[in-house]
């Protein structure tokens, strides 16, 4: 297995990205391809003792910034690190790509370079949220698609079902639609129409609408929403968790171990589904530990063959 890592993407690139990479090869004994400005990478690697045959450098002279238009930058910067890293996956030289850089640029690279799976209009991002059953509920989409159509939410549900089955070994995952009420008629036109599509989809174990306060109850295995809503929910969870953690630590002098489940650095990264390859989106503020864990997510996705499983289920549902 070989994973391509965009060394230049992220708020703390390249120092923290390379630190996480070195940790990964030392602990997991798997090969990494570091993509970015070669001289910068070599200078940073000189600070570490590591097994040299597990790290390869592929030069990329350009970087796509967080404030750039993803599609325009992708066309203009042909030698950007996220572009080169994604091409390595397409060419079969890497099994996955991981980046802490611009989510929009990573999604654009995945769509234009790796390509979307048949009948998938917009690839979503899926991420785990801890629940009270000592497990996780998956939230999809958490930021890839701001504007969605009802049938795209149906596609998100199908992809979420495959991922929950493949990663968590959940048989017939329970799918819910995030809404402002449980009734069928609740929500905007988008959510009312999406509800009807999900209800009629025989391939999905749809349990109805779910309100935000029940996200952590474990009533659903996969919760579907548009990327705008999902990203706000995710960032709110991060902010509230940090607020509570600081106040608990102030009063008790330490944090209960449970709070580690709410820490994005422990989760590491979130897969972009519905594309012909493994692409892991990491938090822009990722440091050493988060980078290491993001690489572990990529490893798990490759080992559990999620790309083939997604394609197989989509093909099966099309036949039915």
Is the fold of 1-120+274-305 the same as that of 122-266? Answer: yes
Instruction: Decide which of 3.40.50.80, 3.30.70.580, 3.30.930.10, 3.40.718.10 is the CATH code for 1-120+274-305.
Output: 3.40.718.10
Question: What angle, rounded to 10 degrees, do the helices at 150-168 and 306-319 form?
Answer: 130
Question: What angle, rounded to 10 degrees, do the helices at 15-28 and 288-303 form?
Answer: 50
pLDDT score at 266: 87
Given the structure tokens 């692409």, which residue do they identify? 279
- Which tens digits make up the pLDDT trace of 75-89? 999 999 999 999 999
Vertex 30: Cα angle to 28 and 35 (nearest 5)? 120
The H or E element that residue 76 is part of is helix 70-76
pLDDT score at 87: 98
Tokens of 162: 């495959």
Class of the CATH domain delimited by 122-266:
alpha beta
- Which tens digits make up the pLDDT trace of 111-160? 999 999 998 999 999 999 999 998 999 999 999 999 999 999 999 999 99
Compare 300 and 264 and report the one with higher pLDDT.
300
- Share the mean pLDDT of the chain: 94
Compare 259 and 239 and report the one with higher pLDDT.
239
C-alpha span between 289 and 282 (Å, rounded): 11
Do strands 126-130 and 55-59 pair parallel, antiparallel, or not at all (unpaired)?
unpaired
pLDDT score at 320: 61
- Which tens digits make up the pLDDT trace of 152-177? 999 999 999 999 998 788 999 999 99
C-alpha span between 165 and 182 (Å, rounded): 25
pLDDT score at 49: 87
pLDDT score at 256: 83
Q: Residue ranges per domain, the chain?
A: 1-120+274-305, 122-266
Give Cα 19 distance to the centre of its chain. Answer: 21
The residues with which 281 forms a beta bridge, in sequence order, are 99, 270
* Neighbour count for residue 318 (Cβ, 10 Å): 9
């Amino acid at each position: 297995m070989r994973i391509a890592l965009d060394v230049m993407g992220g708020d703390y690139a390249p120092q923290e990205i390379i630190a996480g990479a070195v940790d990964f090869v030392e602990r997991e004994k798997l090969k990494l391809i570091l993509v970015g400005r070669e001289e910068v990478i070599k200078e940073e690697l000189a600070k570490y003792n590591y097994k040299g045959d597990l790290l390869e450098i592929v030069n990329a002279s350009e970087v796509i910034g967080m404030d750039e238009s993803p599609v325009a930058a992708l066309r203009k910067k042909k030698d950007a690190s996220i572009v080169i890293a994604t091409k390595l996956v397409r060419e079969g030289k890497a099994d996955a790509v991981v980046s802490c850089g611009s989510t929009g640029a990573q999604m654009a690279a995945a769509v234009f370079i790796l390509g979307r799976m048949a009948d998938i209009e917009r690839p979503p991002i899926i991420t785990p949220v801890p629940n009270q059953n000592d497990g996780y509920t998956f939230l999809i989409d958490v930021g890839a698609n701001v504007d969605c159509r009802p049938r795209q939410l149906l596609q998100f549900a199908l992809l979420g079902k495959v991922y929950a089955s493949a990663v968590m070994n959940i048989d017939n995952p329970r799918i819910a639609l995030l809404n402002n009420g449980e009734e069928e008629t609740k929500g905007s036109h988008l959510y009312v129409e999406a509800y009807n599509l999900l209800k009629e989809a025989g391939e999905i174990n749809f349990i109805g609408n779910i309100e935000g306060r029940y996200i952590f109850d474990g009533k659903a295995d996969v919760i579907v929403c548009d990327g705008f809503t999902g990203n706000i929910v995710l960032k709110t969870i991060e902010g509230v968790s940090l607020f509570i953690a600081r106040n608990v630590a102030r009063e008790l002098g330490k944090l209960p171990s449970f709070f580690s489940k709410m820490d994005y650095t422990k989760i590491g990264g979130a897969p972009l589904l519905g594309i012909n390859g493994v692409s892991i989106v990491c938090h822009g503020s990722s440091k050493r530990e988060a980078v290491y864990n993001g690489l572990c997510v990529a490893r798990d996705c490759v080992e559990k063959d999620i790309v083939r499983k997604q394609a197989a289920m989509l093909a099966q549902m099309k036949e039915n």
